Amino acid sequence: MDPASTSKSEQPDSHTRRYDRQLRLWAASGQQALELSRVLVISGSATSTSILKNLVLPGIGQFTILDSARVTPQDAGNNFFLHRDSIGKSRAEESVRFLLELNDSVKGTADTSDLASILDERPQYLKSFTLVIAHNLRELTLKKLSSILWGDISGPPLIVVRSAGFLAEFSIQFHEHTIMDSHTDDIPSYRLDNAFPALAKHALDLDFDALDVTDHAHIPYFVILVRALHDWKQAHGGKAPEYKQLKDFKAQILRMKKKEDEENFDEAITQVFKAYQKTTVPSEIRALFSNPSCVNLDESSSPFFVMLHALDLFTRKEPYTLPLSPKLPDIKSDTVNYIHLQGLYKAQANAEKAEFTRILEEVVAKAGVAPVPSSVIDEFVRNCHQLKILKGKQWDQDDNSALLEAIATNPAQVGTHLALSALFAFEAAHKRWPLPGSEADLAVAQEWIDAKLSAAGWNEESVVQDDGTQVDEAATGPQSLTFREHVSNAMGEIIRAPTADLPTTAALLGGFIAQEAIKLITRQYVPINGVCVIDLISSTTGTIKI
């Protein structure tokens, strides 16, 4: 039989081929979430269209640009999704038209209504979206928008983006963000210290001495470690080796070798820490169980919390841990031994998933929520060692003590954040933007920062830290300046170009915001939680919690 003839039909369809390079990152489940999403972007600025470009290309379902402005000669100069011929036409309509050229399967809407009247008359409009993104929205309008969205716990998250010249920042307003597949490098427990019955039996029944040298060199190190632990306990009154006995434990493993060059035993030595990993519920996961949304279920509970509740119940029974992961790392071995070991793990993982599903069904019935599809249960169980819940906060609710802490660790980022805040506060107070290069406007903005800092309780002395606080060098870059210098550099830079939406800064923000939007929509990977500050003069970024 020619294998090619049997597999022709397996060739991917055009949808899969188009999205191949991203499906390898977020799989079909992430893609489906994207295709069901509706994104509202407020303003058709260069930054806004750059963000949308990076969401239209991977195929979000629908987007709306809300913008009542007409294209100015300035807009046509810095925005790739406008043209010289667009000048005078609706900015929303023109940019939607150009963006839709990027992907036939995406729907786009130009909404030329006035945001202020939407906020006053029909705020529910905002809640029909999966996500709202606002670039350089005036302070007072943004305050209103953010408080309307914050007021509804099930309302969409809001990404706030601010930029001027080479400086920018963004943050995400959400109450809580749950992540099933965080794609962290955390490895699940393989339970070598507390082998499940089939694994224990396999390791103990195996007659190591009776094996010939080839088979002996193919025993997977998982089996070696389970056996070594068992033997150690036998010789030490049932006690597992302690860290200080690591040398002796390793020596015991090496004594099991038949020949010097058995790589599987060497691998057991390098992986010996896995024998020390306690089979318990990781503390980060246990902490999630006390989340009120997990404790108190009702018919509005999301599948994530319903499953988390069931997971909590699962861990209260023998063996008091998370469901076993069916996925094994590659291990030096031969095919038969490896596949047999993999089979043991798969069987046990399936049995535990069945038990989890049984508990879940009871929870579902009791809470009165819809049953969870089995594909979602699979994903949840597969990733249950790396579940995450992010707790967010309302935009513009800066916490003074957090601000002081951030000044100590990330002085450069706080400086830029304050300078951008001062820019928008200036506009709110004077109903105009500062003039480029104006010394008078610079002084006004600087005063605003001084007032903000003294209200937060900051003074020069608090710079001198003796408590071992480390400046975040990764975010600050090589040069070391005082906080004051950072503030005045940033403020000076903002007054140099207070209303500049540079094409390169816009493109960079377009990438960053789209990445965060994709993480929010797919509930995969981990979005920022704080304010991400970007300085394209020092070519640095840093996220501050304030």
Partner 1 sequence: MSQIPTANADWPERYYHLDQILDRPGPRTDEAFPAGDQVKEFLREGCKILVIGAGGLGCEILANLALSGFKDIHVIDMDTIDISNLNRQFLFRPKDVGKPKATVAAAFVMDRVPGVKVTPYYGKIQDKDDDYYMQFNLVICGLDSIEARRWMNATLVGMADPDVPETIKPLIDGGTEGFKGQARVIIPGLSSCYECSLDMLNKQTAFPICTIANTPRQPEHCIEWASVLEWPRIKGDLKLDTDDPDHISWLYGVASARAQEFKIEGVTWSLTQGVVKNIIPAIASTNAIIAASCCTEALKIATTSAPYLDNYFMLIGTEGVYSFTFQHERKPDYLIVEEFLDWLLEKQDIQAKKPSLSYGNTPIYLQAPPQLEQATRKNLQRKVSEIVPAGNEITVTSVSLPFSLTLKVEYV
Task: Please report, as residue ranges, which positions from 494 to 513 form the binding site for partner 1 (by CB under 8 A).
Answer: 496-505, 507-508, 510-512
> Does 74 help bind partner 1 (rule: CB under 8 A)?
yes
> What is the C-alpha end-to-end distance of the chain, expressed in Å?
65
The structure tokens listed for 131 are 């996500």
> Does 58 help bind partner 1 (rule: CB under 8 A)?
yes
SS3 246: helix
> Does 53 help bind partner 1 (rule: CB under 8 A)?
yes
Cα 389 from Cα 295, distance rounded (Å)? 14
> Does 518 help bind partner 1 (rule: CB under 8 A)?
yes
Let me know: does 131 contact 84? Beta carbons within 8 Å: no
Is the Cβ of residue 101 or residue 209 nearer to partner 1 in the bound state? 101
Is the Cβ of residue 107 or residue 183 nearer to partner 1 in the bound state? 183
Pairing mode, strands 38-42 and 62-66: parallel
User: In Å, what is the CA distance from 48 to each residue of 91, 98, 249, 435?
Assistant: 11, 13, 60, 23
Query: Half-sphere exposure (CA, 13 Å, Cβ side) for 229?
Result: 24
Among 275, 427, 541, 544, binds partner 1 (CB under 8 A): 541
User: In Å, what is the CA distance from 254 to each residue of 240, 266, 270?
Assistant: 17, 8, 12
CA dihedral 123, 398, 162, 536 (to 10 degrees): -160
**Least distance in Å: CB of 469 to partner 1?**
20
**Least distance in Å: CB of 479 to partner 1?**
9
> Does 88 help bind partner 1 (rule: CB under 8 A)?
no
Binders of partner 1 among residues 94 to 113 (CB under 8 A) are: 101-104
- Part in contact with partner 1 (CB under 8 A); list of ranges 49-57, 108-116, 373-381, 451-459: 49-57
The structure tokens listed for 412 are 């450069």
**Least distance in Å: CB of 352 to partner 1?**
19
Cα 538 from Cα 141, distance rounded (Å)? 31
Let me know: does 417 contact 491? Beta carbons within 8 Å: no
Cα 155 from Cα 124, distance rounded (Å)? 9
**Least distance in Å: CB of 276 to partner 1?**
25
**Least distance in Å: CB of 102 to partner 1?**
6
Among 32, 72, 296, 469, binds partner 1 (CB under 8 A): 72
Q: Which residue has the tokens 């294998």?
A: 3
**Residue 335, burial from CB neighbour count under 10 angstroms (0-12, 13-18, 19+):** exposed
Among 384, 418, 514, 520, binds partner 1 (CB under 8 A): 514
**Least distance in Å: CB of 127 to partner 1?**
26
The CA-based angle 297-301-305, given to 5 degrees, is 80
> Does 422 help bind partner 1 (rule: CB under 8 A)?
no
Edge to edge, the sheet with strand 167-173 lists: 107-111, 62-66, 38-42, 131-135, 158-164, 167-173, 531-535, 540-544
Q: Which residue has the tokens 């025993």?
A: 219
Residue 61, C-beta contacts closer than 8 angstroms, at least 6 positions apart: 34, 35, 36, 37, 38, 106, 107
- Part in contact with partner 1 (CB under 8 A); list of ranges 34-42, 142-150, 251-259, 521-529: 521-529
Among 35, 62, 76, 400, binds partner 1 (CB under 8 A): 76
The structure tokens listed for 340 are 């047999």
Among 23, 211, 408, 471, binds partner 1 (CB under 8 A): 23
**Least distance in Å: CB of 419 to partner 1?**
11
- Part in contact with partner 1 (CB under 8 A); list of ranges 221-229, 284-292, 356-364, 492-500: 492-500
**Least distance in Å: CB of 398 to partner 1?**
19
- Part in contact with partner 1 (CB under 8 A); list of ranges 72-80, 142-150, 294-302, 364-372: 72-80
**Least distance in Å: CB of 482 to partner 1?**
14
Is the Cβ of residue 78 or residue 280 nearer to partner 1 in the bound state? 78
Binders of partner 1 among residues 182 to 221 (CB under 8 A) are: 182-184, 218
Binders of partner 1 among residues 261 to 280 (CB under 8 A) are: none
Cα 321 from Cα 318, distance rounded (Å)? 8
User: In Å, what is the CA distance from 157 to each residue of 78, 150, 167, 300?
Assistant: 28, 8, 24, 18
Let me know: does 152 contact 360? Beta carbons within 8 Å: no
**Least distance in Å: CB of 300 to partner 1?**
29
- Part in contact with partner 1 (CB under 8 A); list of ranges 22-30, 233-241, 288-296, 373-381: 22-30
The structure tokens listed for 270 are 């390098």
Let me know: does 45 contact 79? Beta carbons within 8 Å: yes
SS3 35: helix
Number of residues interacting with partner 1: please give it, by CB under 8 A.
Answer: 99
**Least distance in Å: CB of 121 to partner 1?**
33
Is the Cβ of residue 118 or residue 406 nearer to partner 1 in the bound state? 406
Binders of partner 1 among residues 301 to 340 (CB under 8 A) are: 330-331, 333-335, 338-339
Binders of partner 1 among residues 432 to 451 (CB under 8 A) are: 436-437
Binders of partner 1 among residues 450 to 489 (CB under 8 A) are: 474-475, 477-478, 488-489
Among 63, 305, 345, 525, binds partner 1 (CB under 8 A): 525
**Least distance in Å: CB of 411 to partner 1?**
15
**Least distance in Å: CB of 3 to partner 1?**
3
